Amino acid sequence: MSRRHLIDPEVAVPLEGLLEALPGGFNAIADIVARRATVQAMFAAIEVPENPNVTNEDRTVPGPPGEPDITVRIYRPRDATGARPGIYFIHGGGMIMGDVAGEDPTATLLCDEVGAVVVSVEYRLAPEHPHPAPVEDCYAGLVWTAAHAAELGIDPDRLALYGGSAGGGLAIATALIARDRGGPALRFMMPIYPMIDDRNETASSHEITDIGIWDRAGNIEAWDWYLGGKEADQYAAPARAEDLTGLPPAFIDVGAVDLFRDEDIAFAQRLMAAGVPTELHVHPGSYHAAETFAAEAALSRRTWALRTDALRRALA
């Protein structure tokens, strides 16, 4: 049964426009290279005014041992003085799409609203680079960020992870690796509607089939590409992690009309059971990334206000 009737009417408008322009949504484009190009063109067409309060620069930094270097984009408040909180930012895209440039507006917003130095990482994508390449790139960038905190103007005791969708899953996986390898230390993590379970067994993973934004068929395809024929471990699919103790305090939000709804709620409950302070929000009427597609909607404004408030509190 379709769940489209449950979508908040205000955030439904851009979704309807997308489905008109691209029947079936992004996953209707079978070729991943063509799909990436379409998504990039769509984001590039959105006019985002420059934020005079934020500067950014790209830097090439060491990747995982024996692997290629990676690029990070560093955002700073223009008036920054002294050590600021740091947000290590991991973009979304289902492990198969997305880049730093596509989430430039979000990283800029966090820098401005939270007053933090934001370091956004460009990681390798599947299917060309299956697990563990993406998460190892993310961890390498985090290690570099922590090691260069003083140079970057970051207070190393106030470092948080942020990521949406695949970026949320990678944020949790990066936190697991940091815990298991003895650092860097993390104050907080904010995985937004994280992609964390390759098994596709929850009720919501069966419900969301025709929204046009990250439906069941697309999620199964992305996991297949990301795993590259191998079994998932906890660093690929954090829902499989047996021990969640020792992870940083967390904020998770997800839409009620999002395929990831049930896996995210279950994970938040497990974090709490493991003694990890966790804030969870489930937004009625919200589909996957609705606050990005309908940024001016009342639902989207409420969603962003909760996130920035939580980051300010956690990094104070």
d(CA 259, CA 243): 24
Report residue 244: phi and psi, to 5°.
-105, 5
Residue 224 annotated to the active site:
no
Residue of 129, 131, 283, 288 marked active site: 288
Residue of 8, 120, 131, 165 marked active site: 165
204 catalytic residue (yes or no): no
- Sequence-distant (≥ 6) Cβ neighbours of residue 44 within 8 angstroms: none
* Annotation says 205 is catalytic: no
Catalytic-labelled residue, pool 215, 253, 258, 262: 258
Q: Which active-site residues does the annotation give?
A: 165, 258, 288
